[in-house]
Amino acid sequence: MADTDHPGSGLVAAEAAALPHGSAQQGSPSARQALPAGCECILLDVETQWDLFRRGGSCYRWPHSPKAATNIRALFQWAGQNRIPVISSVLRVRRGELGPLADVPHCVEGSQGERKLARTVLWERTNFGLRNSADLPANVFHRYHQVIFEKRHTDLFAHAGAERLITELSSCTFVVCGAGVAKGIAQAAIGLRARGFPVILVRDATLVLREELAEMAFLRMHAKDVTFLRTAEIVVSGPAVLGAAASGENAYGEPGLPMPCELRPLVESGIDGISE
On whether the CB atoms of residues 120 and 45 are closer than 8 A, the answer is yes
Phi/psi region, residue 255 (left: phi>0; alpha: psi -120 to 50; beta: rest), is beta
Helix axes 211-223, 186-194, angle to 10 degrees: 10
DSSP string of 20-59? Answer: --EE-----TT--BPPPTT--EEEEEE--BHHHHSTT-TT
The residue type found at 241 is V
Residue 115: inside a domain: yes
- For residue 190, give Cα distances in angstroms to 187, 194, 199, 215, 227: 5, 6, 9, 15, 12
Residue 211: give the domain boundaries.
Answer: 39-247
Residue 61 has a pLDDT of 86
Phi, psi at 16, each rounded to 5°: -75, -30
Number of domains in the chain: 1
Residue 255: inside a domain: no
Residue 238 has a pLDDT of 59
Residue 162: inside a domain: yes
Residue 165 has a pLDDT of 92
Residue 189 has a pLDDT of 96
Residue 149: inside a domain: yes
- For residue 116, give Cα distances in angstroms to 71, 75, 182, 222: 15, 15, 20, 28
CA angle 100–92–152, rounded 5-degree value: 60
What Rg do the C-alpha atoms of the chain give, in angstroms?
17
Residue 267 has a pLDDT of 31
Residue 248 has a pLDDT of 58
Tell me which DSSP letter residue 126 carries: E
Residues 6+ apart with CB under 8 A from 225: 193, 245, 248
Residue 253: inside a domain: no
* CATH number of the domain where residue 130 is located: 3.40.50.850
Cα separation, 181 vs 267, whole angstroms? 12
Residue 49: inside a domain: yes
Count Cα atoms within 13 angstroms, Cβ side, for 93: 22
pTM of the model: 0.79
Residue 117: inside a domain: yes
Maximum Cα interatomic distance, the chain, rounded to a whole number of Å:
50
Q: Which of 120, 138, 119, 137 is nearest to 128 (CA)?
A: 137
Q: Which of 226, 95, 213 is nearest to 152 (CA)?
A: 95
Helix (H/G/I), strand (E/B), else coil: 196: coil
Residue 32: inside a domain: no
* Positions in the chain short of pLDDT 70: 1-31, 100-101, 237-276
Residue 249 has a pLDDT of 52
Residue 209 has a pLDDT of 84
